[in-house]
Amino acid sequence: MTFRATILTILPEMFPGPLGHSLAGDALARGVWSLETRDIREHGIGRHRAVDDTPAGGGPGMVMRCDVVAAALDALGTDERPRLVMSPRGRPLGQDRVRDLARGPGAVILCGRFEGIDERVIAARGLEEVSIGDYVLSGGEIGAIVLLDACIRLLPGVMGKEASGTEESFEGGLLEYPHYTRPREWEGRTIPDVLLSGNHAEISRWRRAEALRITRERRPDLLSDTPDQD
């Protein structure tokens, strides 16, 4: 089953962007996933294809119109893919949600611009609001690229080794352990001896301990749901 991504945006030229390179780009070329962009302005109002209007109640900026956005969504027809909208007020995107999306048929992602999107279309079309962090971007396109990159790398056949997707940050509730490679010594810093010992049980224990240490130092909030913390 091909993972299908459809992007609704007023800037379709931003895609595939980074998704056309490296692992994601190779997987796109091989048909592991597909990308479709739809220009919301095709459903704009009047001669100038307007997609926004002044905010009700006053205030700065413009708001994307509910009728225009709904027309763009409805033109897709219906399928089983989740319909997402990138928004700083959405639920934070975590690795669990990424895994769920990667296991599914794909996603329809609406990218807002200006001050936001008329609330009525978000409610009426049952859109899931998703945030990639506690900051504000100029639009949802970069957030959509981040979300898709996180999903695509988990698709079967995208990464070189299956373990690459299971031994990294947020898998198992911990941040990832440190990595080393040649040269053995660099600027007076050496690779930890345990990693050169050939003792895979000791290496596994060291990596687990280091993952716990780094998580305690940098993201202690992640440890509340992590078993075997000691």
Separation of CA 17 from chain center = 14
Fold classification of 3-152 (topology level): Alpha/beta knot (3.40.1280)
Span 188-219, pLDDT tens digits: 999 999 999 999 999 999 999 999 999 999 99
Q: Look at residue 225 and tell me whether its pLDDT is greater than 90.
A: no
Contact 5, 36 (CB under 8 A): yes
Domain ranges of the chain: 3-152, 167-225
Confidence of residue 164 (pLDDT cuts 50, 70, 90): low
pTM for this model (two decimals)? 0.90
The percent of the chain in helix, strand and coil, each rounded to the nearest 5, is 40, 20, 40
Region 64-86: mean pLDDT is 98
Q: Look at residue 111 and tell me whether its pLDDT is greater than 90.
A: yes
Distance in angstroms (rounded) separating the CA atoms of residues 9 and 153: 23
Dump strand ranges (E) for 10-68: 33-39, 52-53, 63-64
Tell me, yes or no, if the two domains 3-152 and 167-225 fold the same way. no
Span 126-147, pLDDT tens digits: 999 999 999 999 999 999 999 9
End-to-end alpha carbon distance in the chain: 41
Distance in angstroms (rounded) separating the CA atoms of residues 212 and 17: 36
Task: Give the pairing type, strands 3-9 and 106-111.
Answer: parallel
CATH class of domain segment(s) 167-225? mainly alpha
Give the model's pLDDT for residue 229: 46
Distance in angstroms (rounded) separating the CA atoms of residues 136 and 179: 32
